[in-house]
Structure formats: C-alpha cells, structure tokens
Chain A
C-alpha cells in the first residue's frame, strides 16, 4: 500500500515520544512493503537521506518499502504545548529569526494554514491511505481526503485531557474531535486512550482500534560504559538511584515523584532521586524539593538527549513513571531496554503492555514509596523484574505492530 503520512516530530528533531513512535511506525510499515510518503514540518539533510537501507531494525533485503520525506514549514512547534500563549512565545522567537514570516499570529489559524499547505501533496503523490498523528496534523488529513478521496486514519497518541488535565484548550479539543469524526478509522495507542476517546469525544467503539506502541531493539546496552555517571553527578557509588525522566508537566506527575522521594528518604538514607527533563513545572518542582527538605538527595539533570538518556536509564536502579495520565508511555520500555526495572502508574497505556513492572495508582504515595523501597532493598525482586521485563520486551516489535496497523488500513479500505 502507498501511505501518505502527516507526522510532526521525527528523530533527530523531537522533544518527546511522538517522534520516536512515528519513526517506529514508519519503519514497521516499510518492513511490510508499504511505501510511505512522510510529510513533516521540518526536515534535516540527514532525514532527506533517510533510506530503508539505513534502517537498523531491518536488513536491506527485508525492507522492500520506500520512504520519501517532504517538509512544509510552520510556526507551530510542539505537539505537547497546546496553549495559545505557548504558540505566541514561539512565534515571537521565530519572528526574530525570520522577520518576513508567513505564519499566522493565531495558533488555530496556523493549524489551518499548515493543513492546507500540507494537503497539497495529496494532489501529486499517489496513495491508498492517509495516516495522521494527533491534533496538529489531523486537519491536513481531512483536507487531503477532500482532494484524493482516500480513507483517512487518525492515530491518537495523546489527547488534550492527558496534556492539560482539567484545563483543556477548547480549540485543541475541537480539532481532535473533528479529526476523529472525519477520520474513517481511529487508532488509539492503548485501551486507556480508547476509553477516553469514547468517554470525552463520543467516538463510537467500532471506529477505534487499539495498536500499542513498541520499541526498536537496536540500542546497545552497556551498563559498564557509563561508569563515570555516579562520579559526574556526585553520587556515591553505593547510593541507589531512582530516576524520573520526562517533561516536568502536570501530566507526568513530577510532584508525586518528589512526595514519594520524601517518604522513601524518611526510611532509607542513601538514595538519590534524579529528575531528568524540563518543562513548565520546573521551578515549582525545585521549590517543592526544598520545601520537603530533600534537596540534597534530588538531582536535576535538565533535558537529556541521545546517549545521555540511555546512560540515565542504565545507571538507575529503578525508573519511575508516576504519570497522572499517560496514553501510552514509551519511556518505561526504554528503561527496560537498558536493563532497569520500572515502576509505572496504572493510569497509563503501558501498564496494559508490560506485565513485569511494579504498578501503582499515581496518587498512592505510600504504596509508591513502599514499592520503591522494596525494589531497592530486595535484590531478588530487582533481578526478577529486570530479567522478566527484558524477556517481555524482546517479544515486542514495531514490525508486529505495523501488521496491526495494516489490518486497520484494510478495514478502512474495505469498509
């Protein structure tokens, strides 16, 4: 099949899980011999060179698919920041860099402008299916379908309720709802998300298929290679390390992480809590660590990239994802890949996928602390979690998941 896909982030340009997932989906689809034409807002020369032969997951012989990448410029910049203020802040920066910008001064208008530009590709690129990701690109899918008449699949990685909790941006919600209503089929990244789509967006169950994310099995795992980590972070080599890695936003639950840290430290002294990532709650979180009197045991590493991320996972004794609402949550899989056991909130899609993890309700601080202490104190728990979760991870692949996506394509085409 020929897929016209509208993506947003794509490695190496990315700030979150959407880019990683998008890459996995594209590579998985290629392994099933689909041709993917990927439209992105920004591309790099490296991306343009992106050929199936360079895929790490596949040998050249296996990948019969073709990928082409095109970019359409826009002032929209992040799928995660959905407030008008954030858009305006970004635009101000862009205006300095590109004074003659064509971008609209209003986020919503910019979404429509971008969609119209991006949809033009539907005219000259032959395709059997249109595949969009989340609120930023679904409008492009709607427009593209108007041009070619081919079925539109909207892939939902997160909803406005996950990102903004009780204060959703109505315009973004409307875009999401409109996208799902116009789409021929909707892919949700978890049962958890599917339920939200039914509950908050009124989408019919028959229209939604759940396809969980996977991970690329390509990263080298090397605990030894990172032996300088403790030193560079002034952590005593015998100290235990508990890691938080993600955007410091309400959705990710960094405040619950700190409250848990306090409970743990009341009980066990030699534990360091590393918080990696940046976000709008950063100041608040730093202040909270001081208010709780645990600032000496909490280390902020800032936003990490590439190798630093792998290193952070590998060096931790436990990775904690205390998300308040997580449609999927790829990070625990990355941690497991690095040989680190995980504790995840039950309010996440990943808890449907990984069984060999410690699981808690994000608000249950006592239980979270109980389990963190157990993981740090009982080596056999740590070892069993590590070994069994790795076995589970090895059974997952994007290739398998792309098979599921193909079935969704078939359903849309045969409807």
Chain B
C-alpha cells in the first residue's frame, strides 16, 4: 500500500510537536447602568486594563522577544518546527494597535514564512459557540480561515477549539468541515491505559442530521466527490502531553517544585525516556516572558532546547507533519465536553454559575436578531454589528465571571481585569443591554 509509510522514515527516535496559543480578548470598557443606551466604545477595556496598554505590555514582554528567539532557532536548526493558533481577535488587535501591532504581526509573518511553522485554525472570536450554535461555530471557523489566508497566505488543515474544548462530537463536526487533524487535552481520565504519545483517531459518533448538514455546507476544504469517500476519510487526533507541557508553562519557575530548576538537559532526558512517536507540547504563548518572566531563565531554556533534543535524536514536526508521519494507533472516545483548564478539565471555568449561564444564553439568543438586523444594513454596517455581537462572545468575558476560584480565595488562579466576578457580570450585562437597545432601534 503506497500510503503506508515507514513510521521512522526520517530517522528520529521520536518527534516533538510544539503548538502555541496566541490570544488577547477585547476586554470590555467599564459600563454602568446609567450609560446603557448611549455607550459608544465597548472594547477599549477597563480604565486600568486598557486593551491597547495590555497588548503593548505583552508585546514587549512576550511576543517580540519570543518571536525573535523562535526565528533565531528556526534559522539555526532547519529541523526545528513550531505551530501557532492565533485567535482572530488577537490578529485584529495587531492590525488595530499601530506600529507595535504591525511589528508583532510582521514578526509572526516572518516565522510562518520560514515554512517551518504551521498555522492552525480556531474560532475567530475565541468563543464558546460550539455549545450554543453550530452554525455560528462554523461561521467563525470560516471567518478565521479567511483571515489566516489573508495575513499569512496559508490554508490551515488542523483545528483546535477554544481552550481545547473537545468531544468526539466536535471532532466529527470538524472532520465533516474538511479538517485533517484536531487537538485535545491528553487527559488520563478518558485515555485510561492509552498513551498520549501516539496519534489517534476520534471515536466515530453520529451527528444530528441538521448539524451534519451545517458542517458539510460550510466545509472549508473541498470534500471528495463521492460521499462514500467522505464518510471514509478520517481525522487525526493529537493529544496534549499535559505533564510535560505544564512543566514548562506552569512549573518552570516554581521554586517549591522538586524538579526546580528545570534545565534543558534534564528536560531533554525526560523526553528521551518516553516511549512513543510524538510528544505534543501545547501551551499559551505568553508562557514565554509573561507567565514565566524573562528572569526565570525561560528564554535561555527554550534557546537551548532544540539542540539538546536533536543531540538525543529527537526531532520536530508540525501537527500536519505529525499526522502525516505516524499511523494512528487506535480510537479515543470522549463522550462529554472536555477542556485544558484547571484540575477538572471541564467547562466550569466558563459555565458553572447562574450568572455565566444567563449571560451566555442571552448573547447567543441574539443570533437571529443580529442576522436579521444585519440583512437590513449596508455591508459595512452589517459587518460592524456582527463583529460587535461576536466580540461579546469571547470566552474570557465568562471566565471573569467564574466564582469557583473566587470562593476558594485562590486569587492566583483568578486572572481578571475586574475586582470580582460580580463586577465582571454587571459590566457585561450593562453592555449587553446597551447592545440590545441598539438592535431594537435598527
């Protein structure tokens, strides 16, 4: 069989697959009830957390220095590979925030242009749309795909959902949309005896016929002509190695961690000891310089990692290359929704109290009204309206309303631009009320 390639055709013992999440939400401007009805700009951010200021801060601490490092590594080691998923709202901010935004975007373009970096696809607005509207979910994927093409001239074929939210059903939908691969958390709970160090296929599940129809209608990649072929084509599943990923993303600077300090040699030895094809290291890009500050040595760690791994005959692959290189070893079934967040790996960070539930319900209930209103407007105005509605869907808004960290008094787990989840909710609902009033007037 011609497509049954030798697994170790490239001579490596195994390969590492890096994927970095790059996202910045449009945090809401303060909106009190007295402003409802005449609020102008929703998305400048709270006074002390202006979106522009945060973007600039993260650009200086993380994006620019990390991109410079990645570019250096990609040039020095032709074997090195990375992949990125940018949220559409992050790219929007690059385009919006002047010279610095342009500089950040250009440096990403340079990385992508090396041909050693892959761009993945996600929902443009980093949203939870899958939970509420399959059509909206698909539309945001299409919009994201267009943006990626416009900026990077790339057509993504691998998908990762917001916060790695995943289930077998999502995988099936994404498969129907024409993607070749999808990412998920390698959570022991459902993996059981299976190892995350191999490529899998998702368990086949049935979609609701209406959902399947949406997925097919809105497919991003051309489907094979014969339906039988389409049915047969499988999608590959890449699982995050959360222990090794979190060693870098969370534990790297933790001095109470028994393995601190983490050196490249020690880390490379851990990877060396692993039995498997691929080690999928997925993390937020802000790990470099923002979550782990420069003085923790994170940049130096990364600078020496590729050569340390190559010395041990561990190579690198992008998600697409990984999928191409390794034959899936089995099927994995995730019958419920899972994410990469917290110890629970569930959706409780975004949907676990009545405030979050009502806010999410309200924003998605507006879907028909928004489209109806948009149909009466000029194209530009309609886009603006839809854009506003969709920016209000960004998952971060609902994360800020989460009371579970708040209750435990665990302030460290509570990254927020608000003083409390209640303030987050009040600001969101006032803004939403303003938006609804404007909708009615159209």
Contact = CB atoms under 8 A, between A and B. Distances in A.
B403 interface: yes
Interface string A362-405: 00001101110110011011011101100110000000000000
A358 B34 contact: no
4 smallest CB-CB distances across A and B, nearest first, come from A370-B32, A380-B354, A380-B358, A374-B426
A384 B355 contact: yes
Given A366-B32, A370-B33, A374-B33, A359 B419 contact: yes
Nearest to A374: B426
A267 B433 CA distance: 14
Contacts of A356: 403, 406-407, 422
B407 A392 contact: yes
Contacts of B354: 380, 383-384, 387
Contacts of B34: 263, 267, 366, 369-370
Contact of A381 (B32, B407, B419, B422): B422
| Candidate in B407, B409, B422 with the most chain A CB atoms within 10 angstroms | B422
Interface in B393-413: 403, 406-407, 409
Q: How large is the interface on A (under 10, 10 to 19, 20 to 34, 35 or more residues)?
A: 20 to 34
Contacts, number: 68
A270 interface: no
B146 to A, nearest CB: 36
B407 A391 contact: yes
Q: How large is the interface on B (under 10, 10 to 19, 20 to 34, 35 or more residues)?
A: 20 to 34
Contacts of A388: 353, 403, 406-407
Given A366-B32, A380-B354, A371 B406 contact: no
A402 B407 CA distance: 23
| Candidate in A357, A366, A378 with the most chain B CB atoms within 10 angstroms | A378
B420 interface: yes
A366 to B, nearest CB: 6
26 contacts: A263-B34, A355-B406, A355-B420, A356-B406, A358-B422, A359-B419, A367-B32, A369-B33, A369-B34, A371-B422, A373-B33, A374-B33, A374-B426, A374-B429, A378-B358, A378-B425, A378-B426, A378-B429, A380-B358, A380-B425, A381-B422, A384-B354, A384-B422, A384-B425, A387-B354, A388-B353
B28 to A, nearest CB: 14
Interface string A134-177: 00000000000000000000000000000000000000000000
Interface string A264-290: 000100000000000000000000000
A384 B430 contact: no
B206 interface: no
A392 B420 CA distance: 15
Nearest to A366: B32
Interface string B346-379: 0000000111011100000000000000000000
Given A359-B420, A388-B353, A381 B406 contact: no
A355 to B, nearest CB: 6
B32 A380 contact: no
Contact of B355 (A359, A367, A371, A380): A380
Contacts of A371: 422, 426
Contacts of B419: 359
B429 A355 contact: no
A381 B33 CA distance: 14
Nearest to B411: A355
Interface of B: 32-34, 353-355, 357-359, 403, 406-407, 409, 419-423, 425-426, 429-430
Contacts of B33: 267, 369-370, 373-374, 377
A370 B420 contact: no
| Candidate in B32, B357, B406 with the most chain A CB atoms within 10 angstroms | B32
Contacts of B422: 356-358, 371, 381, 384-385
Given A374-B425, A381-B425, A381-B429, 19 more contacts: A263-B34, A356-B403, A356-B407, A358-B420, A359-B420, A370-B32, A370-B33, A371-B422, A373-B33, A374-B33, A377-B33, A378-B425, A380-B357, A380-B358, A380-B359, A380-B425, A381-B422, A387-B354, A388-B353
B406 A370 contact: no
A135 B149 CA distance: 74
Nearest to A355: B406
A373 B31 CA distance: 13
A71 to B, nearest CB: 41
Nearest to B419: A359
A89 B354 CA distance: 53
A355 B411 CA distance: 11
Contacts of A378: 355, 358, 425-426, 429
A367 B425 CA distance: 14
A356 B405 CA distance: 11
A370 B426 contact: yes
Contacts of A383: 354
A357 B419 CA distance: 11
Nearest to A386: B354
A380 B360 CA distance: 12
A274 B354 CA distance: 28
A359 B418 CA distance: 12
Contacts of B421: 384
| Candidate in B33, B406, B425 with the most chain A CB atoms within 10 angstroms | B33
Contacts of A392: 407
| Candidate in B358, B403, B423, B426 with the most chain A CB atoms within 10 angstroms | B426
A374 B430 contact: yes
Contacts of A387: 354
B428 to A, nearest CB: 10
A90 to B, nearest CB: 43
A102 B268 CA distance: 86
A384 B420 contact: no
A149 B92 CA distance: 72
Given A355-B409, A355-B420, A370-B32, A384 B426 contact: no
A387 B423 CA distance: 17
Nearest to B401: A384
A383 B407 CA distance: 15
Contacts of B430: 370, 374
Interface in A190-223: none
| Candidate in A369, A377, A381 with the most chain B CB atoms within 10 angstroms | A381
A381 B409 contact: no
A263 B421 CA distance: 24
A391 B355 CA distance: 17
Nearest to B357: A380
B412 to A, nearest CB: 14
Contacts of B355: 378, 380-381, 384
B410 to A, nearest CB: 10
A367 B418 CA distance: 14
A369 B35 CA distance: 12
Contacts of B358: 378, 380
A406 B259 CA distance: 39
Contacts of A384: 353-355, 403, 421-422, 425
Nearest to A268: B33
Contacts of A380: 354-355, 357-359, 425
